[in-house]
Structure 1
Amino acid sequence: MDSGDTLCVIGPNGSGKTTLFNTLSGQLQPQRGQVLFRGMALRGRRPDQIARLGLGRKFQVPSVFGTLSSLDNLLLARRAAGLPARPADVDTLLRDTGLAGRAQVPAAELSHGERQWLEIAMVTSQAPRLLLLDEPTAGMTQAETLATVALIRKLCQRDGIACIVVEHDMQFVAALESKVMVLADGRVIAQGAFDTVRQSAAVRQAYLGHDA
């Protein structure tokens, strides 16, 4: 993937989507072959070492510090990455995520969608080159889902972050207009634009169904 590219990974439960993310982030080690990131082999590296190389990951369930404000969550994420941690360093991310007016609100008081956006901002604040997002719109309203599409596009295009998204929400996948990769039984069964992939007989049988 090049800087600014996005890729959606879809497929049925058990198809290998989480295993893919775990292997990329170092939580699982491949039994054979190599995983390369920015020309560097990742096999044998710990998750924290891979993170320092520029790979950021957001898990499906938001993991923010509920007693800390949105601003303090972002500043803490910056400090953890060894980066400058002043309010001015995260102003743009607060505006991007619509949280500028909620900067001093404890994260526990944010809506579910706002907590998802805050965690995306926390990972992005650490200046990753590749961002892994695991079902970032889970539990969101339709309006929040479309806002998340706009947020991901902005972060990738403006900051040159490559992004791989695992998602089950086909409205999100279609709206993002990125390349799509379909997994089934641990194998890639289709790749391409969403409108092309959804017409694949193999994809319909394995995942989307014949009414897609």
Structure 2
Amino acid sequence: MRILLAEDDPSIAEGICASLRHGGHAVDHVAAGNLADAALRDHAYDLLVLDLGLPAIDGSEVLRRLRSRGTGMPVLVVTARDGLPERIRVLDLGADDYLVKPFALAEFEARVRALLRRASSRGKPELVLGRLRLDLPGHRAWIDQNPLELTAREFGLLEALALRADRITSRTQLVEALCDWDQELTDNGLDIAIHRLRRKLHGSGTGVRTIRGLGYLLEEMAEAGNDPA
């Protein structure tokens, strides 16, 4: 998953970014509201972690603008502002959850998993494609009952394809899903990741098909057509 963090406290931002990246997510960080608003307009994210007390544009205004564009992206507000009236105001603006600083990272991570689970699998705890089963927030996959051992990059690739299982996913979309602003993924690196994922999916009844000139499609297929090479 790709997450945008809008937080102006460097120490808090560093801890949150480390936690999210350790969980296998790509994370972009901005420290001002106007930068958050621009990033949300220019990039596709799966979750926004939003501080309210941002410079340039307040976090509440970032949230209002996001919802005014009709975007249903989940938003987790993390703020030092406490009190029931403030929580009600922010939830009414369109936030999905609200966490008061200081907070335990374990609770933050649990709330992130819950929001991503609801958003990515439409309330279902898992996605199932043939004999392949995925727990997206938990970053786990199985073929039948057998765990599928994947690297963080391989799981991110499978996740990006699984969320668009009925549509073609372009190379650009895959790169954007796998990398944050501080990372790069070469064409060769993407090809290697796709090759390795295909080999690990061999025997699952689900494979990655290349649609020449357009991208890739995750689909159920006959074993004879699921060539790991």
TM-score of the two chains, using structure 2 as the length reference: 0.30
Higher relative contact order structure (alpha carbons within 8 Å, sequence separation ≥ 6): 1
CA radius of gyration, larger in: 2
